[in-house]
Structure 1
Amino acid sequence: MTGHETVAVVVVTFNRADLLVGMLDGLAAQTRRPDAVIVIDNLSTDHTREVLDARTDLPLHVTTTETNLGGAGGFHRGVRAAWDGGYDRVWLMDDDVVPDPGCLEALMAVDEDCLIAVREDLSGALVEKAAVDFDLRNPLAIKPKRASVDSTYADRASMPERVEVHNVAFEGFMCRRRVIEEIGFPDPSFFIFYDDADYAIRAREAGHRIWAVRDAVLVRQLDFNQQHDLAGWKGYYMYRNLFVVHLRHGENALVRLKPWLITLAVVLLSPVRGGRAEARNVIRAMASARGMRRLTDPALPPR
């Protein structure tokens, strides 16, 4: 039954106070009021605290971390707080999206354990990047995401009411309490990137299907920028966490070998690509990923 379920929204924010205002305005305008809004402030140094202190119109529960835990650490802490609070559903939200007024109501009306709202940009164009095909079987698939919602459907109107997806972003993902009970919490060791993909795969491995709900509208305030400097600090996490996903969830030995082959290729091509910095990044990433093949203890199911 969906009518009597409680829901906690988990928001992770870091130094984007002006965007946070719009996101909180969107939550305050929901036709289905959230029972709690758990905000994890990753030690912001801008005016985030003033923004949060002014929001007497929302049931806020704010935690300011001792250090910047990254998105992964923030969502881990927030989902754990929602679990401890006993809420029936948890809705994960970044600080750069704004839900349409009926978004939460549309999600809560669906009697499924794992859901996502469907993102669009400020122009109304469909920009939902969740994969409808995430291939961890084919060792020749360099990128496991083979097709996404927005590469499959021209616009929201052409989507069916629900579309099954294989991975998610922690921008509008919702799950029931029983999912957390079975698979555990987001893994804080990812820091940034792929923590949401790992969580979705864990849910699917436990037998849960994940549905994108067409009429649950989430508006992204920033353009997608998927092109990161692979020789910089973000590149390290992109490589490492992609490798971890393959090592943990690859469906055969050849797929689990892919991180080693990618590492070799990047090192060999480094003179004509990203140079020594990218080569160092990928070597470090491979070494660290080997130690993360098993789910880390903080992410294990609650005891």
Structure 2
Amino acid sequence: MERIAAVVVTYNRKELLLQCIQHLLDQQEAVCDVLVVDNASTDGTAQALKQMPSPRLFYRNTGENLGGAGGFHFGMRWAVEEGYDYVWIMDDDSLPQPRALAELWAAHEQLNGEYGWLSSRCLWTDGELCPMNVQRVTPYKDLAEPVQKLAPVQMASFVSLFLKASVIEQMGLPLRQFFIWTDDWEYTRRISRVLPCYAVWGSTVVHAMKSKTIVNIATDVPERMFRYRYFYRNDVYLYRREGLKGWLWLLAKDAWHSVQVLQKSSDKLGKLKIIWGGFCKGICFTPQIEFCKSIKRK
């Protein structure tokens, strides 16, 4: 029997994680095991999961905070090496609706397995599309709400991404060196260069993040500034592979972000250093793709 693993990466969001797990265990017309990757949470996550016994729930602690990128790298390797045939990945604040997996599986069957990955429609808690998780039809253009249930796309977030373990074996794992941000764009674009990929509009997940506003260095709080160092560096790695158009996109984007910083920020110099320091680091950033193989799949 073919097996599906839902890989959930968590870090200090115990209450949201428990909701996510329950939504996964309650899926209708489709069954998955749940593999929780804990980035060394300090909020009692491990103890809470002991109060949620299920033969389909498995837990591993990474021992340190690997970031989202490292967590998904860890979890997808775990799933593939354990012999799962399909991997469904998401953040710990994702709430897959009752038929989310069933609709992904229906798309899988409709396509006869001929795809790189499938991505669910992602809503925020108000029922509207979550801007951070809208798929892209090109590296530069968001998907407009499609008429058809299956829409060809090239990039997607890791909030409800479904793919075959064989694709992971072929294309490698997410780049753990990214730590946070852009790892999902890079990974899905890596695959869509080779295989057709689709947004599945019948599969719905609610992303229960605090705010649906797209992150902005010009207005974000000081405690989150360290994240942007990864964002601007990782973006260069992603878009430089798109050739001249990618470089022009990068320069235009970072220039616009710089204008916003000059207009809206008090720490103008510090934020400009983050933008263009990250840009410079990205030029020579060369992380290596790592691969894995099943050691248990028959």
TM-score where L is the length of structure 1: 0.82
Please state how far the C-alpha of 1:59 moved relative to its aligned partner: 1.7
| Matched-pair contact (CA < 8 Å) for 1:28–1:58 | no
State the alpha-carbon separation in 1 of the partners of residues 30 and 48 from structure 2. 20
For the pair 1:253 / 2:244, whether they are aligned, the reply is yes
| Matched-pair contact (CA < 8 Å) for 1:228–1:235 | no
For the pair 1:104 / 2:101, whether they are aligned, the reply is yes
For the pair 1:288 / 2:281, whether they are aligned, the reply is yes
The one-letter amino acid paired with 2:150 is: R
1:216 to 189, 203, 211: 203
2:61 to 59, 64, 82: 64
For the pair 1:127 / 2:118, whether they are aligned, the reply is no
| Matched-pair contact (CA < 8 Å) for 2:217–2:261 | no
Q: Look up the match of 1:39.
A: 36
State the alpha-carbon separation in 1 of the partners of residues 192 and 171 from structure 2. 10
Q: RMSD of aligned C-alpha atoms?
A: 2.5
Change over 3 Å in CA distance of 1:50–1:285 after alignment to 2: same
Change over 3 Å in CA distance of 1:103–1:67 after alignment to 2: same
**Corresponding residue SS for 2:120:** strand
**Corresponding residue SS for 1:199:** helix
Q: Look up the match of 2:236.
A: 243
Change over 3 Å in CA distance of 1:58–1:291 after alignment to 2: farther
| Matched-pair contact (CA < 8 Å) for 1:133–1:165 | yes
Change over 3 Å in CA distance of 1:9–1:134 after alignment to 2: same
Greater shift, 70-79 or 215-224, is seen at 215-224
Greater shift, 173-182 or 9-18, is seen at 173-182
The one-letter amino acid paired with 2:173 is: F
| Matched-pair contact (CA < 8 Å) for 1:14–1:43 | yes
Please state how far the C-alpha of 1:229 moved relative to its aligned partner: 3.0
State the alpha-carbon separation in 2 of the partners of residues 276 and 213 from structure 1. 43
State the alpha-carbon separation in 2 of the partners of residues 68 and 75 from structure 1. 12
Instruction: Spell out the pairing of 1:182-221 with structure 2 (5 A cutoff).
Output: 182-206=170-194, 208-221=195-208
The one-letter amino acid paired with 2:215 is: Q
Instruction: Spell out the pairing of 1:131-146 with structure 2 (5 A cutoff).
Output: 131-135=135-139, 144=140, 146=141
1:235-291 CA distance string (max 9 Å, x none): 2122111111112x21x2353365467667877997656521112212331232123
Change over 3 Å in CA distance of 1:44–1:221 after alignment to 2: same
1:147 to 135, 142, 146: 142
Change over 3 Å in CA distance of 1:264–1:120 after alignment to 2: closer
The one-letter amino acid paired with 2:98 is: P
| Matched-pair contact (CA < 8 Å) for 1:183–1:300 | no
Change over 3 Å in CA distance of 1:7–1:271 after alignment to 2: closer
1:134-168 CA distance string (max 9 Å, x none): 24xxxxxxxx2x223xxx22xxxx74211122211
**Corresponding residue SS for 1:302:** coil
State the alpha-carbon separation in 2 of the partners of residues 268 and 118 from structure 1. 32
**Corresponding residue SS for 1:279:** helix
| Matched-pair contact (CA < 8 Å) for 2:135–2:157 | no
Change over 3 Å in CA distance of 1:280–1:184 after alignment to 2: same
Please state how far the C-alpha of 1:7 moved relative to its aligned partner: 0.7
1:19-48 CA distance string (max 9 Å, x none): 111111101111245442111111111121
State the alpha-carbon separation in 1 of the partners of residues 262 and 99 from structure 2. 52
**Corresponding residue SS for 1:281:** helix
| Matched-pair contact (CA < 8 Å) for 1:106–1:215 | yes
Please state how far the C-alpha of 1:13 moved relative to its aligned partner: 0.4
Aligned residue pair count: 278
State the alpha-carbon separation in 1 of the partners of residues 260 and 21 from structure 2. 46
Greater shift, 166-175 or 230-239, is seen at 230-239
